[in-house]
Amino acid sequence: MHNAVVVQHPELIAALRAVLPAGALLVEPEDTQPWECDGLTLIRQRPMAVVLPDTEEQVVQVLQLCHAHGVPVVPRGAGTGLAGSAMPNAEGVLLAMARFNRVLSVDALARTATVQPGVRNLAVSDAAAPYGLYYAPDPSSQIACTIGGNVAENSGGVHCLKYGLTLHNVMRVRGWLVDGTPIEFGGLALDAPGLDLLAVMIGSEGMLAVIAEVTVRLVPKPQLARCIMASFADVGQAGDAVAALIAAGIIPAGLEMLDQAASRLVEPFANAGYDLDAAAVLLCESDGTPAEVAEEIERMCSVLRAAGATRLQVSADETERLRFWAGRKNAFPAAGRAAPAYYCTDGTIPRKHIGTMLKAIAAMELRFGLACPNVFHAGDGNLHPLVLFDDSDPDSVARAEAFGAEILEESVRLGGTITGEHGVGMEKINQMCSQFDADSLEAFRGVKRAFDPAGTLNPGKVVPSLHRCAEYGRQRVSAGRVAFPELPRF
């Protein structure tokens, strides 16, 4: 998407300058340009201004001023989001919260940590480590992404199946409504009176409130973790193995899959020792006490063997376990090396359809003329197909976008969702029209109004307008397939 013309608002800028320290207000195009996108580089927009406050008082003043002028505010953490949720608004102020980067307290006995929103995900676990505790949700971007962003996206990681998403690990969020009114969701007890607003706040993509402080739950570090690397000659069989593990009553600490193209993509990069002849590799982790892990690994191995695994390798020590994971965790950078650009989507489907989905994606590779290695959180049915394309070629870009859209449509058709953990943002806003009916979309708008009546906090994201859905409907051909390549997705 092209940059829309930035709207100027000299009066507001002057007022912001008066409340912010030097260097905390950026307005010149060359200064705002680095902020024009998040991790989804396909969509860019320069904001009217970027503000980088470092006190809560400044944030409140920014919110009050913008509210008084009816100017949109878009909160931003580290900008690693993959859906364009933090894409700036041409008429608005980008509120960068990264300077709020302090861990305020760790209460080892209560197993909680209270942190500012700009604290990086991994920094929370680092702060908790001396107490034998950690923060469980571990997105692959955890060295960079912030807790504020995690809460806004309800981020997941490779251990969600057993340890839950951000939602299950956040107890309390303090922040402000768009007009600067302070508000608190949840609390230090396990519940709070009234509706569970915390549940709807988490995953709201910066559209309901600005986050000032988060209290997360910490969990004890397991004594031991071991990982099985299993090879399969067929992706369908690997998918069935995932279902078989669950049916056997096993909840692995991690259960990830790479197809052959993905293994071949990451191996030269990570030297993980993946079986490059296998059609699919499954990584299946057990954690707990040594006796517990031994018991579970044995059960896992027998289920995997019965499901047709051609090769099983159990990590002998921590170094080997980390090596197994290195491939999976480096899938994105490896994709970045293998092609000028890659586009990662995030559909989630019922586990039983994994094989069907992978076959559908293989057919799309031919149709769109682009390669698409697949890595995914198999235990959750959460796919991350990596469409490789050339971002200097407009035709290649258009094909990549249409490919991604088609994967999302297929996810909905298979009874799943267009996004498991990355959010809708701008990226998947059209496919919201496929997943939800008009009434449910209107109800989402109602939720937004309840928090933000003027609609100025991160406007235009996630929930498509009626008009947009009508347009999107017209652009799709009657067979239910996305018209290609004319379709502008953004």
Ligand X SMILES: Cc1cc2nc3c(=O)[nH]c(=O)nc-3n(C[C@H](O)[C@H](O)[C@H](O)COP(=O)(O)OP(=O)(O)OC[C@H]3O[C@@H](n4cnc5c(N)ncnc54)[C@H](O)[C@@H]3O)c2cc1C
Listed in order, strand segments (DSSP E) in 353-401 are 374-377, 382-389
Whole-angstrom CA distances from 178 to 183, 198, 455, 456 are 10, 16, 9, 7
Residues 197-226 interacting with other proteins (rule: CB under 8 A): 197, 199-200, 202-204, 208, 217, 219-223
DSSP lists the bridge partners of residue 382 as: 348, 377
133 touches other proteins (CB under 8 A): yes
CA end-to-end distance (rounded Å), the chain: 6
Which residues make up the interface to ligand X (CB under 6 A)? 38-39, 74-82, 85-86, 97, 117, 139-141, 145-146, 148-150, 152-153, 155-157, 205-206, 210-211, 332, 421-422, 458
Q: Please give the backbone phi and psi of residue 77, each rounded to the nearest 5 degrees, phi first.
A: -100, -110
154 touches other proteins (CB under 8 A): yes
Residue 488 binding partner per list ligand X, other proteins, none, with a CB distance cut-off of 5 to 8 Å that depends on partner kind? none
Of 371, 390, 342, nearest to 260 by C-alpha is: 371
* Sole binder of other proteins in the list 36, 91, 153, 410 (CB under 8 A): 153
Residue closer to other proteins by CB (options 133, 238) is 133
Read off the amino acid at residue 134: Y
Residues 364-383 interacting with other proteins (rule: CB under 8 A): 377, 380-382
Q: Kindly report the number of other CB atoms within 10 A of residue 415's CB atom.
A: 11
Q: Spell out, one character per residue from 48 to 87, where the chain touches other proteins: x when CB under 8 A holds, - when not.
A: ----------------------------------------
**Structure tokens that stand for 475 in this block:** 């652009």
Residue closer to ligand X by CB (options 140, 237) is 140
298 touches other proteins (CB under 8 A): no
Residues 458-477 interacting with other proteins (rule: CB under 8 A): 462-463
The string of DSSP letters for 398-418 reads: HHHHHHHHHHHHHHHHTT-BS
444 touches other proteins (CB under 8 A): yes
What single-letter DSSP state applies at residue 72?
-
Kindly provide the b/e burial profile for residues 89-109, where b requires at least 16 CB atoms within 10 angstroms of the residue's own CB. Answer: bebbbbbbbbebbebeebeee
Residue closer to ligand X by CB (options 140, 430) is 140
Any idea how long the chain is? 490
Q: Which stretch binds other proteins (CB under 8 A): 20-28, 30-38, 63-71, 450-458?
A: 450-458
* Sole binder of other proteins in the list 34, 268, 340, 415 (CB under 8 A): 415
**Structure tokens that stand for 166 in this block:** 């951000």
Whole-angstrom CA distances from 160 to 164, 246, 376, 379 are 4, 14, 12, 9
Residue closer to other proteins by CB (options 195, 366) is 195
- Interface with other proteins (CB under 8 A), residue total 102
**Start-end of H helices in 70-128:** 121-128
453 touches other proteins (CB under 8 A): yes
* Sole binder of other proteins in the list 399, 422, 461, 489 (CB under 8 A): 422
Q: Which stretch binds other proteins (CB under 8 A): 9-17, 139-147, 230-238, 427-435?
A: 427-435
449 touches other proteins (CB under 8 A): yes
**Structure tokens that stand for 235 in this block:** 């992706």
What minimum distance in Å lies between the beta carbon of 20 and other proteins?
25
Residue closer to ligand X by CB (options 53, 239) is 53
Residue pair 136/164 in contact by the 8 Å Cβ criterion:
yes
What minimum distance in Å lies between the beta carbon of 455 and ligand X?
15
* Sole binder of other proteins in the list 77, 149, 156, 355 (CB under 8 A): 156
Q: Angle, to 10 degrees, between the axis of helix 235-247 and the axis of helix 290-306?
A: 130
Q: Which residues contact 214 (CB under 8 A, 6 or more apart)?
A: 114, 115, 116, 117, 147, 148, 151, 170, 172, 173, 174
Residue 86 binding partner per list ligand X, other proteins, none, with a CB distance cut-off of 5 to 8 Å that depends on partner kind? ligand X
Residue 141 binding partner per list other proteins, ligand X, none, with a CB distance cut-off of 5 to 8 Å that depends on partner kind? ligand X
182 touches other proteins (CB under 8 A): yes
448 touches other proteins (CB under 8 A): yes
**Structure tokens that stand for 164 in this block:** 């839950």
Residue pair 141/173 in contact by the 8 Å Cβ criterion:
no
What minimum distance in Å lies between the beta carbon of 155 and other proteins?
9
CA 173, CA 165: separation in Å to the nearest integer? 15
What minimum distance in Å lies between the beta carbon of 271 and other proteins?
30
Residue 217 binding partner per list other proteins, ligand X, none, with a CB distance cut-off of 5 to 8 Å that depends on partner kind? other proteins
340 touches other proteins (CB under 8 A): no
